[in-house]
Chain A
Amino acid sequence: MTSRLKKITSLWITTVLLLFVISIILGITMRFNQAEVIRLSPITFYTDMTVHGLTMIGIWFVAGMAAVNFIMERYVKTSKFVNILALVLTVVGVLMFWASTFIGKFHAGWTFLYPLPFKVMWSAWATPLFLYSLAVLAVGWLIWCISLIAAMLKKYSITQVFAWQYFKKGPKEETPPFILISMITLVGIVTCLITAIVLVVLLFAEYYSKGTFVNDALLMKNLTYFFGHAIANEMLYLGLAVIYEMFAEISGRPKWKTTWYVSLAWNCTLFFILTAFFHHLYMDFVQPEGLQILGQLASYLASLPAAGVTVFSIVVAVYRTKINWTLANLLFFIGVMGWVVGGLGAVIDATISNNFVLHNTLWVPAHFHTYNAMGNVLFSLGFFYWFSVNFSNSRHSEKLSALKLFLLIVGGIGFLAAFYIGGADSIPRRYSNYPAEFVHAKTLALIGGVFASIYLIGILIFFVNITRRCVKILFSQSA
């Protein structure tokens, strides 16, 4: 493992954690505004909302990518130049995006659903700057993904990298689960990033045509959610690739191996994840009914490989087995639990007849915050913790572990419960202030904000400890 890769990974971790703390504060500010504890103008609220959403998606995507890139070096040689280029383009893209929002007041939401970006309610330059920031991020990440795929294909054949040899009896070559999952995930990410680039090109085409070219709203919505759904889910799978590699190692257990059912599950996942996005368009009744039904079936079927293979494997690995429990593998284990609970909320909402009364209520942020804040974040924190302790020659500091976990779990449950109850109570999402009809909305927002603050305290302790160790790695002579 080269010291340069450790330094780049340390930089990624520090950047992600810093942006995470800022984004949580924006989230808490929104909940307190909804509770009327503080007063923001609606424009400031929706600007915060746009920054919070896209920054969170971006940082947890790159967190998974940085972890996958670091571990992939165990199997194949990856490009340090591309890794740094991705970091530079991510920082540049985020700064451009923040300029368009914080200065230009662009506030079309992180999904920038067409044609909202063109109904300018902000500085006129903010729309093109926002679109250019997306282009910078998408191109940087696309180059990174393609570089990692190319690195794997230099060593493994197509059959091997997708682990198709396990469908025959007595496979001669082995494919590590990490390589299989990384490949499946990166192919999915490349597909969704190409879609994002098509989307941005279509938006630019309309922007520069001065009214002579107009996009189709239904097509744009399909493209938007294909991209948005895929990236939000694929970033979780990057975290799972890390777990497949690291859980057994950290636990002092034999390394996991690919089998025919692991291969089958992950190959199916690629298909399901790219077709489940139709569930975002259930309430667009003009969408062909066949695609709506496909959306529900793909959403249901996506849970089979996830639960039957990944979750079951974690259960098998832990059940009645002596494990060296550390903060890292505990975070992985609790993260899988959070992913399962969020997945249950998602499957409920992916049922068309439920979506009829849940779509765009607080149920939506409820379920995706569950598998992000209590799932994906914990996957990455587990990796960050292991990485920073392992390579900074620090003594294991498990003193605050129980406190950190307590704050994350208690804060997380309270903050999510306020969302779920609000969703079942039909309270709309993305409202800067609640109309008087929603009698419980303000109280729930207050409860959500208070518990999210408890979660933030837990994250701040992680931030201080991990960043301190990462800075040590960054400035060490031989990391």
Chain B
Amino acid sequence: MHYSILLFFLIVAVISISVFVYVFLTSKQSDNNTTGMANPLQKRFWFILILLVILGIFASVTIPKSPYYLFADEQPKAVVHVAAMQFNFFMSDSAIDPKMPKGEDSITFNTNELVEFRVTSLDVNHGFAIYNASNKLIAQTQAMPGYVNRLRFKFKEPGTYHIFCLEYCGMAHQLMRTTFTVK
């Protein structure tokens, strides 16, 4: 569970809802003599400025953490070719022939080694989503026909990792999965 994201959302949502409820209650208690908000233009200016600063900070902190920059300066220790096809994943150390796709029976990595997944699709769009042993989504990319997406990742914990398809691809989408091992 990505508790931090959920918690952050809950906090900002509750604050926002509280503001609305408070504003509504001030209206219910008002009569013809009450005079709305003082200096609304000035307050609006400060509100937008503060929001802009907060968003600026968020953007500058989060953008460098984007997956495109993950381990971009390092050489991968292992390269895995992934070909997705309704409703299977083929994974192999060597390039996969699109006409006769075949994958390895099992794929194993070492902990903390840099792995590069070269992900494509042989038919429709699919998702390539990696779940750790506690079934938490830790990394993903799309498998798109005609393109290869390169996903780099280091697995810190040993165990069995699951791959699920996260892009709707037809009637057996929910069954499309595979695994690999980290030792």
Q: CB within 8 Å of B: which residues of A?
A: 42-43, 46, 107-109, 113-116, 119, 121, 216-218, 221, 261, 282-286, 289, 292-293, 296-297, 300-301, 303-304, 307-309, 312, 315-316, 318-323, 325, 333, 336-337, 340-341, 344-345, 348, 351-354, 356-361, 420-421, 423-426, 428-435, 437-439
Residues of B with C-beta under 8 A to A325 = 27-28
A322 contact from B32, B135, B170, Cβ within 8 A: B32
Contact pick for B62, options A303, A316, A351, CB 8 Å? A351
Instruction: Report yes or no: B26 in contact with A320, Cβ–Cβ below 8 A.
Output: yes
By the criterion CB–CB under 8 Å, are A303 and B148 in contact?
no
- In the complex, residue of chain B having the shortest beta-carbon distance to the beta carbon of A119: B124
Give complex CA distance A437, B159 in Å: 15
Asked whether B6 lies within 8 Å of A420 as measured between CB atoms, the reply is: yes
Residues of A within 8 A of B55 (CB): 300-301, 303-304
Given A115-B124, A341-B17, A420-B6: A316 and B40 interface contact (C-beta under 8 Å): yes
Determine if B110 is an interface residue (Cβ-Cβ < 8 Å): no
User: Can you add 19 more A-B contacts, CB < 8 Å, to A286-B149, A304-B55, A353-B65?
Assistant: A107-B170, A115-B123, A116-B170, A119-B86, A217-B125, A284-B149, A285-B67, A285-B150, A293-B66, A300-B59, A315-B19, A318-B23, A320-B35, A353-B63, A353-B67, A356-B67, A356-B139, A359-B127, A439-B135
Interface contact B12-A43, CB-CB below 8 Å: no
Contacts of A336 in B (CB 8 A): 20
Asked if residues B144 and A322 are in contact (CB atoms below 8 Å), the reply is no
A113-B125 contact in complex given A286-B147, A344-B12, A358-B5, C-beta closer than 8 Å: yes
Contact B144–A286 (Cβ < 8 Å):
yes
Given the complex of chains A and B, what is the CA–CA distance between A344 and B20 in angstroms? 15
List A contacts of B78 (CB < 8 A): none
A348–B8 contact, CB under 8 A?
yes
State the CA gap A434–B162 with chains docked (Å).
Answer: 14
Minimum Cβ distance to chain B for residue A80 (Å):
38
> Which residues of B lie under 8 Å from residue A438 when comparing CB positions?
135
Select which of A319, A360, A426, A429 is within 8 A of B23 by beta carbon.
A319
Q: Mark B54-80, 1 if CB is under 8 A from A, else 0.
A: 010011001101111000000000000
Chain B residues with Cβ under 8 A from A337's Cβ?
Answer: 16-17, 20
Instruction: Categorize the interface residue count of chain B.
Output: 35 or more
Residues of A within 8 A of B168 (CB): 46, 109, 113, 116, 430
Q: Is the CB of A344 within 8 A of B13?
A: yes
B103 within 8 A of A: no
Chain B: minimal CB distance from A447 (Å): 15
Q: Which 10 pairs show the lowest CB-CB distances between chains A and B?
A: A426-B137, A308-B48, A424-B6, A360-B166, A353-B65, A352-B66, A431-B174, A285-B149, A430-B168, A337-B20
11 interchain pairs (CB within 8 A)? A115-B124, A121-B170, A320-B37, A323-B30, A333-B24, A337-B16, A353-B65, A357-B2, A420-B9, A424-B3, A430-B168
Interface check B100, CB cutoff 8 A: no
Using known A-B contacts A115-B145, A218-B144, determine if residue A344 contacts B9 with beta carbons closer than 8 Å.
Answer: yes
Task: Name the distance in Å between A203's Cβ and chain B's nearest Cβ.
Answer: 14
Contacts of A434 in B (CB 8 A): 174
Contacts of A121 in B (CB 8 A): 170-171
Does B92 make an interface contact (CB < 8 A)? no
Q: How far is the CA of A304 from the CA of B54 in the complex (A)?
A: 11
| A17 CA / B6 CA spacing, docked (Å) | 33
- Interface residue from A43, A345, A431, A437 paired with B131 (Cβ < 8 Å): A437
Bound form: Cα–Cα A322–B48 in Å: 26
